[in-house]
């Protein structure tokens, strides 16, 4: 993600008709003039300095998030009046609207949605964040297709805050219908989000809230504070005991007894109704690309991770499902052990040192995990997926001043500002740029050189220990 110094309308053609409106902004579609990629562009009026600070904090939070069920932020713009966010475009509308259409959902599609919600929340909790306003309005669907094959995206991090485990927050924030009792009491932790998920699950299964609004916020708040709810209506007679047990586990008044996202993902109902993929999603072709991932230099690796973050998810659905098949515990990260198990389950033959090589390349900081973007970057089919428009989009992320060449300063800037943690040093970029200047007799890298670097098939030599080095 980068902060673009250009004016929004010099980069995007903005549709006048809003596709969404919220408390703090209006969302319209924007077509990137150079690449023709369509994004969702949220425009927020600056207003009071405290409001500006809040929006900048939200952008900083979104910049660090990297999960298949959290909305992607690509770039931001700022002028004297507005802050604008260019984000991933999802065409399926809010989960709230789908609930209004369907009234209620069967257990299997509910489980698919709840699993995705829990995965996103497990991930943000693991980064010491809490959302504090989980509700159907803050989840959007990737497309208008069936729930079972769709992808939910968590949006709106305006209320998110840092709250490491063992710490507490006191600000009363959120939406009363979905608010945990502890939030109303003014002392709460990350488990407040799990209460909200319990309310969402209740609504998905029966079509109404566990806490009925009866004329005043005060009366509703009293019910919530007391945890006064029940399985109301005959509809619950036809819902499994496992489903009801999970709702109970999420809507426990005591936070010490309330399930965490990790525990809820291991619940029997989730495992039965939305089981872990069988492994077929991680095909032999994807496995081979992962194990034989090679890059010539730091810029190539950085560019591939930028490409992976910019791709239209409709085009990489098969890679998302492969990622989720390997991510067995649902935390949004893949460990070497999970990848080995996933490869074995998919019937892919591999030497163990190749898995170590992959992690050495993509995870030089030694975290022991691959994030979503790193996985996509390594498993891309460069021949079919790195089309000219995709490469052009990535090139323009680097070419910040629009002069048609990538300079050392621009490459450094992208690495520093990137939405993802690029596993490449600025020194390696400087060395590469110096080499390019010597070879070409001119500064920086052109689009044609950039495209050739990404699309050309490499046959890189291995280092003595079998790894493929990044310069």
Burial of 349 (0-12, 13-18, 19+ CB in 10 A): exposed
**Nearest-angstrom CA–CA distance, 313 and 317:** 6
pLDDT at residue 470, as a whole number: 41
Is residue 16 part of the annotated active site? The answer reads no
Of 210 and 300, the one with more pLDDT: 210
Q: What are the distances in angstroms from CA 418 to CA 159, 345, 362, 423? A: 23, 34, 15, 11
Least confident of 5-14, 121-130, 205-214, 383-392: 383-392
Measured between its terminal Cα atoms, the distance across the chain in Å is 24
pLDDT at residue 461 greater than cutoff 60: no
β-partners of residue 123 are none
Q: Which tens digit of pLDDT belongs to each residue from 58-82?
A: 999 998 899 999 999 988 999 889 9
pLDDT at residue 468, as a whole number: 41
**CB contact at 8 A, 67 and 155:** no
CA 412 to chain centre: 24
Q: Which tens digit of pLDDT belongs to each residue from 34-54?
A: 778 899 999 999 887 878 888
**Residues recorded for the chain:** 471
pLDDT at residue 388, as a whole number: 78
Least confident of 118-127, 230-239, 276-285, 362-371: 276-285
For the chain, the maximum distance between any two Cα atoms, rounded to a whole number of angstroms, is 78
Average pLDDT, the chain: 85
Torsion of CA 317, 319, 70, 141, to 10 degrees: 10
**Nearest-angstrom CA–CA distance, 22 and 43:** 10
**3-state SS track over 169-202:** ECCCCCCHHHCCHHHHHCCECCHHHHHHHHHHHH
Q: Fold match between 2-87 and 95-273?
A: no
Average pLDDT over residues 278-296: 80
Question: Which CATH code of 3.40.50.12780, 1.10.10.10, 1.10.510.10, 3.40.50.920 fits the domain covering 95-273?
Answer: 1.10.510.10
- Cα Rg for the chain, rounded, in angstroms? 23
Segment (H or E) for 37:
none
β-pair type (26-32, 38-45): antiparallel
Segment (H or E) for 408:
helix 408-417
pLDDT at residue 362, as a whole number: 84
pLDDT at residue 49, as a whole number: 81
**Nearest-angstrom CA–CA distance, 146 and 102:** 12
Question: Residue 463 — very low, low, confident or very high, per pLDDT cuts 50/70/90?
Answer: very low
Hey, how many other C-beta atoms are within 10 angstroms of the C-beta on 366?
Answer: 8
Q: Where are the domains of the chain?
A: 2-87, 95-273, 284-455
2-87 has CATH 3.30.200.20 classification: yes
Question: Residue 383 — very low, low, confident or very high, per pLDDT cuts 50/70/90?
Answer: confident
Burial of 288 (0-12, 13-18, 19+ CB in 10 A): middle
Contacts of 204 (CB under 8 A, 6+ apart): 99, 104, 105, 110, 113, 114
Torsion of CA 459, 465, 468, 471, to 10 degrees: -120
High-pLDDT (> 70) share of the chain, %? 88
Q: Which long-range contacts does 24-27 make (Cβ < 8 Å, 24+ apart)?
A: 24/51, 24/55, 24/158
pLDDT at residue 185 greater than cutoff 60: yes
Question: Residue 138 — very low, low, confident or very high, per pLDDT cuts 50/70/90?
Answer: very high
pLDDT at residue 290 greater than cutoff 80: yes
High-pLDDT (> 90) share of the chain, %? 51
From the list 133, 193, 331, 399, the catalytic residue is: 133
What is the CATH number assigned to the segment(s) 284-455? Answer: 1.10.238.10
pLDDT at residue 121, as a whole number: 98
**Nearest-angstrom CA–CA distance, 102 and 387:** 38
**Nearest-angstrom CA–CA distance, 33 and 308:** 20
Average pLDDT over residues 4-20: 86
Q: Which tens digit of pLDDT belongs to each residue from 225-272?
A: 999 899 999 999 999 999 999 999 999 999 999 999 999 999 999 999
């Amino acid at each position: 993600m980068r902060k673009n110094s250009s004016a929004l309308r010099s980069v995007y053609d903005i549709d006048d008709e809003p596709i969404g409106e919220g408390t703090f902004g209006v969302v319209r579609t924007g077509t990137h003039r150079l690449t023709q990629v369509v994004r969702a562009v949220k425009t927020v009026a600056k207003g009071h300095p405290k409001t500006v600070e809040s929006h900048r904090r939200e952008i900083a939070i979104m910049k660090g998030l990297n999960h298949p069920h959290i909305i992607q932020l690509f770039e931001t713009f700022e002028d004297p009046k507005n802050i604008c966010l260019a984000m991933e475009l999802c065409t399926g509308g809010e989960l709230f609207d789908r609930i209004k259409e369907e009234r209620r959902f069967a257990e299997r599609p509910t489980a698919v949605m709840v699993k995705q919600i829990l995965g996103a929340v497990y991930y943000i909790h693991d980064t010491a964040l809490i959302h504090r306003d989980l509700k159907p309005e803050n989840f959007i669907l990737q497309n208008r297709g069936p729930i079972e094959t769709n992808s939910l995206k968590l949006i709106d991090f305006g209320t998110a805050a840092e709250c490491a485990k063992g710490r507490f927050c006191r600000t009363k924030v959120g939406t009363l219908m979905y608010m945990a009792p502890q939030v109303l009491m003014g002392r709460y932790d990350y488990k407040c989000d799990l209460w909200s998920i319990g309310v969402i699950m209740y609504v998905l299964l029966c079509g109404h809230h566990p806490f009925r609004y009866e004329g005043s916020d005060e009366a509703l708040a009293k019910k919530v504070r007391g945890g006064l709810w029940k399985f109301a209506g005959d509809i619950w007679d036809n819902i499994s005991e496992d489903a009801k047990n999970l709702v109970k586990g999420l809507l426990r008044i005591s936070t010490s007894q309330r399930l965490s996202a990790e525990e809820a993902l291991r619940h029997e109902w989730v495992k039965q109704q939305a089981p872990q993929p069988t492994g077929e999603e991680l095909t032999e072709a994807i496995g081979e690309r992962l194990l034989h991932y090679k890059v010539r230099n730091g810029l190539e690796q950085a560019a591939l991770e930028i490409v992976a973050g910019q791709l239209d998810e409709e085009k990489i659905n098969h890679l998302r499902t492969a990622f989720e098949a390997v991510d067995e515990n649902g935390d949004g990260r893949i460990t070497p052990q999970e990848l080995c198990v996933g490869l074995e389950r998919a019937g892919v033959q591999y030497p163990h040192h190749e898995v170590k090589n992959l992690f050495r390349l993509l995870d030089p900081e030694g975290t022991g995990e691959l994030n979503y973007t790193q996985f996509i970057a390594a498993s891309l089919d460069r021949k079919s997926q790195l089309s000219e428009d995709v490469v052009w989009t990535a090139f323009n992320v680097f070419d910040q001043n629009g002069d048609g060449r990538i300079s050392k300063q621009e490459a450094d800037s992208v690495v520093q500002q990137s939405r993802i943690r690029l596993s490449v040093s600025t020194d390696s970029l400087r060395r590469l740029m110096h080499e390019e200047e010597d070879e070409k007799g001119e500064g920086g890298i052109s689009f044609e050189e950039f495209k050739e670097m990404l699309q050309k098939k490499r046959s890189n030599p291995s280092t003595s220990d079998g790894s493929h080095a990044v310069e």
